[in-house]
Amino acid sequence: MIAKSTLALGDARVGFRGRIQALAVDDSPTGLPGHELERRLIELGFVEGADVELLHQGAFCGDPIAVRVAHTTIALRRREAMAVLVSAEPPA
């Protein structure tokens, strides 16, 4: 079950820290078939329960974004990041 406080990683701002709740892929936003996008995201470490942090965004239109998942930094298009549902970490 997905909590009410979840948002798509593609909607997050630089500095966001949270935890992956689920992947919600479909065939429309990226041009990739949903199963292919899901497979790629999982291979990159975007799995349920993983910690994420949005580190940087591109200068034009905020795309791509740099995301740290676990201990790896990965660049993603925002439209791909829309398939990653996250919940915010409470402030320390």
Reading the chain (92 residues) residue by residue, the pLDDT tens digits are: 455 589 999 999 999 999 999 998 875 555 678 888 899 999 999 999 999 999 999 988 788 999 999 899 999 999 899 999 999 976 55
pTM for this one?
A: 0.85
Residue 42: predicted pLDDT:
93
Quote the CATH superfamily of domain 6-83.
Ferrous iron transport protein A (FeoA) (2.30.30.90)
Residue type, 89: E
Listed by start position, the domains of the chain span 6-83
| DSSP bridge partners of 19 | 51, 87
Which candidate, 19, 17, 7, places its Cα nearest to that of 78?
Answer: 7
Q: Look-up: residue for tokens 């990226």? A: 30
- Token readout for 5 is 């406080």
